[in-house]
Copies of this chain bind each other. A is one copy, B any other.
């Protein structure tokens, strides 16, 4: 799965053949179909595993505080840290969004992530620390800023994730306007 991830990320899903994967590993094709039903199933397995892994990373990072605003900030930081270490998986997620049959799995993962964020947003609104906007919009807005900054500044420009995280947190919390 690690090797396939690397090939898919570098070459694209369709251009990477099963033959290429198994020969790169030095095994026969039969062994692939012993462990996976199909190429698609392999891809879905990689996708699910990466979603689980990111989520575990986020959970670990936010455990150190109970404050919802801080949890949001720590969640953003953890996401960018993980993302900077897993550029290849980012690429796969983007591809998955372009083919109907991978969308359900993708959306499930994204809804889980949004749900996680949303819980802290709701808590923050209830305690009067966050503006009373629709929590779902806020949650996805956070995910959007984070994903885009990761794509551009981590994966295209190789900037350190800490700097990107500072910018993301600042924009999410305070917007871009001078005193509101």
Chain A positions within 8 Å of B, measured between CB atoms, are 10-15, 69, 91-92, 94-95, 97-100, 107, 110, 114, 121, 124, 128-131, 133-134, 137-138, 140-149, 151-153, 156, 164, 167-168, 170-180
Q: Is the interface of A mostly helix, strand, loop or mixed?
A: helix
Question: Looking across the interface, which residue of chain B has its beta carbon closest to that of A142?
Answer: B176
Please determine whether B137 and A171 come into contact, CB atoms closer than 8 angstroms: yes
Residues B131 and A174 in contact, CB atoms below 8 Å apart: yes
Evaluate contact between A133 and B180: CB separation under 8 angstroms.
no
- 4 A-B pairs besides A128-B178, A143-B148, A179-B180 with CB distance below 8 A are A134-B167, A137-B164, A144-B148, A173-B177
Whole-angstrom distance between the alpha carbons of A114 and B152 in the complex?
11
Neighbouring B residues of A143 by C-beta, 8 Å: 148
28 CB contacts below 8 A, A to B, read A10-B100, A12-B98, A12-B99, A13-B98, A91-B98, A94-B95, A95-B98, A97-B151, A124-B176, A128-B178, A129-B178, A130-B177, A131-B176, A133-B170, A134-B167, A137-B167, A140-B152, A140-B153, A141-B145, A141-B171, A144-B144, A144-B147, A144-B149, A145-B145, A171-B175, A172-B176, A175-B175, A179-B180
Which residues of the partner chain B approach A97 to less than 8 Å between Cβ atoms? 91, 94, 151
Give A10's nearest chain B residue, CB to CB: B100
Among B92, B148, B170, the residue within 8 A (CB) of A140 is B148
Contact, CB under 8 Å: B178 / A131? yes
Query: How near does chain B come to A138, taking the closest CB pair, in angstroms?
Result: 5
**What residues of chain B lie closer than 8 Å to A10, measured between beta carbons?**
100
